[in-house]
Chains A and B, each alone.
Chain A
Amino acid sequence: MSIILEARDIRYRYPRGPEAISGISFHIRRGEKIALVGPNGAGKSTLLQMFNGMIRPDSGMILFDNKPILYDTPSLRHIRQRVGYVLQNADRQIIAPTVWQDVAFGPANLGYDEQTIRNAVADALRHVGLEGFDRRPPHHLSGGEKKRVAIAGVLAMDPDVLVFDEPTSDLDPSGSEDIMELLDELNHEGKTVIISTHDVELAYPWADRAILILDGRILEEDKPEVAFGNIEHVRMAHLSVPTLLELSMELGQRGYDQPDRKPHSVLDMVEIIENLLHGSSWNHKPGTITVCNVDEEQDTSISSYVTSRENMAVGTMGTRAKQRALQEQLTVEFTYGVIDKCILRALRGQDSLILTTGSMAGRVVTRVDAYGKESGNIIRVHPFGSSGQPSSTCNVNGKTE
């Protein structure tokens, strides 16, 4: 993968203040999910604001797409269109009196024509699940909805890189999960996503790489299990070791065999424990997972499908899937980490249904397949409407696995 953002020995001092960034170098590849983790005042936000040229480093340089960022007005406009920045406080980011106007702000200032603006706004709003909110004033929205408007405002400019400063800080747990799910969705569509956070539990399973920052320096930069596994550094950065990682390390210290790949999810942990207890996690006849692409199943009734089957749990991936579930008044059990939770259910011998949208349908098959190869447990994934037929091949969204 090519490098999209690179920092070379950057330093920055606030006017009349202490040095906020003291010599940082790193690079971010296209399509990566990066978590910048560190305590308050470590320099996370300052660093993030350098990515779109809001702050110019005193020395060193930032490269975008292997070219140094220039600080003249046309170059800054270009970089800000390619690198979308979402502020921590959505209230401060939303400047227009209606949702539509706010989302249209970026495209209008980029000089798009009217029709392109309309399309960009409609696309962005659909993406974050706020269709029909066009004329609502921002002060009538909930915290999570405001955050979505802020994200839509950046998405409407179609950036390559999305930078989020503390994306979940003002949200309740379910709102946070929704936003992290949305970030996953965006990443899956090819966007590079960078977040700053001090929530290690959120960053650990989500990120491809974690960068620990303390006092304007990089303390550790590695895969999350390595970065958060260094207890010394984690303590120095005023963070805590993620529970799953701590559990795995504790088991390892007690002499229980631990696989090389550290657990990233409850599923991974269950797998490890069952292997310790029974030598395998293969206990029951496994349940099945049915995948329903809500874009293709506009007319079928999902609720009658669910009620006609006993003990069928429903999980949703993506905002349109959530809306559909709401429309059909389905009880949704999983909205985050859906695939893993459905695999867990299948291992208990129970069936589940995943509602999802176009691009993510294939992901279910890939993930279940990968799990199957790793653990030797074969779980069947059916496309919606053909479940019940004995078929081990999955054909979801035209993709044969």
Chain B
Amino acid sequence: MFETLLDDVAQKNTFRHIHPGTKILLGLGSLLICLVSPAPVVPLVSGMILTIVLLVPARISPVVYGELLIAPAVFTAFSIVVLLFMLGSGTVIWQFSPASWINLTITDGAVRQSTLVLCRVFGCTTSLFFIALTTPMTDLFNLMKRCRIPLELIDLMMIMYRYIFIIYKQAHEIWEAQVMRLGYSRKKEGIHSLSMLFGMLFISSWTAGEDMIHAMDARCYNGIFPSLDQAEPIRIRSLLPVILYLTFLGGVLLVTIKGVTMPL
């Protein structure tokens, strides 16, 4: 039942054993470059290259990747339509006024800016997906520890992470039990079923919490939450391509900054 979760993909791709720092460098680096780029070509190229990298060498299922892209794609599509009509400078290329008080216009400036936003969203989303799909949370915890994030916070995050799956599984089981007995069949019934699900979930989370304290006490809990800091070493084999790629992207960025007159 966890097959569709991002966590599962992150645990099973072929980049799993690359040092998390290398992957974060690639993700955050390209994210930054995409954000500062004034021309759409940089984020477009970055997004396409990262997509290919995710699909081919990292062997992430195109179906999973496509499904993941749907949500941001729909959201962006709506925003772009609004942006097209809202932004305005330059020559009018399309006009629609069915009544005297409605006046919808699209200008070439609006098209330019919308394209830029679209490409930036694409580039940034793939950068973030790259991190989410190749780096499991468990590796990120270690990295956070190295970045001197307070241990208490990381311990809490680790416990939360562990319990997401337990509670998710429990919710799924309760939901199945309800559906089998025709829960959610009508609208009013659905609200009733959902409230019952949350009530049950609260009770079981409460007992799970008590059991957790028992389990920790039974193993002499003294405030220490061990961390597994035995990630793969940083390897030139994976770090070098990342640096080359970011340099290439930065180069393209410089060229476009010189070539493009700032649109904003």
Contact = CB atoms under 8 A, between A and B. Distances in A.
A97 B138 contact: yes
Interface in A109-135: 109-111, 117, 134-135
A153 B218 CA distance: 10
Contacts of B208: 92
Contacts of A77: 220, 222
Interface in A158-184: none
Interface stretch (A98-106, A198-206, A249-257, A356-364): A98-106
Contacts of B222: 77, 109-111
- In the complex, which range does the number of interface residues on chain B fall in? 20 to 34
B219 A97 contact: no
Contacts of A80: 217-220
Interface stretch (A24-32, A136-144, A347-355): A136-144
Contacts of B165: 137-139
- In the complex, which range does the number of interface residues on chain A fall in? 35 or more
A118 to B, nearest CB: 9
Interface stretch (B127-135, B225-233, B240-248): B225-233
Contact of A97 (B162, B217, B220, B223): B162
Interface in A76-110: 76-77, 80-81, 84-85, 87, 89, 91-98, 100-101, 104-110
A42 B221 CA distance: 29
B11 interface: yes
Most buried by A among B208, B217, B230: B217
B137 interface: yes
Interface string B1-17: 01000011001000000
A105 B2 CA distance: 25
Most buried by B among A96, A140, A154: A96
B141 to A, nearest CB: 7
B215 interface: yes
Interface in B196-217: 208, 211-212, 214-217
Given A97-B137, A98-B138, A137-B138, A54 B218 contact: yes
Given A95-B162, A108-B224, A138-B162, A52 B138 contact: no
B226 A95 contact: no
Contacts of B226: 96, 101, 104-105, 107-108, 117
Interface in B15-30: none
A314 to B, nearest CB: 32
A137 B162 CA distance: 8
Given A137-B11, A140-B11, A106 B220 contact: yes
Interface of A: 52, 54, 76-77, 80-81, 84-85, 87, 89, 91-98, 100-101, 104-111, 117, 134-140, 153-154, 157
7 smallest CB-CB distances across A and B, nearest first, come from A108-B226, A139-B165, A104-B226, A106-B219, A92-B211, A109-B222, A100-B228
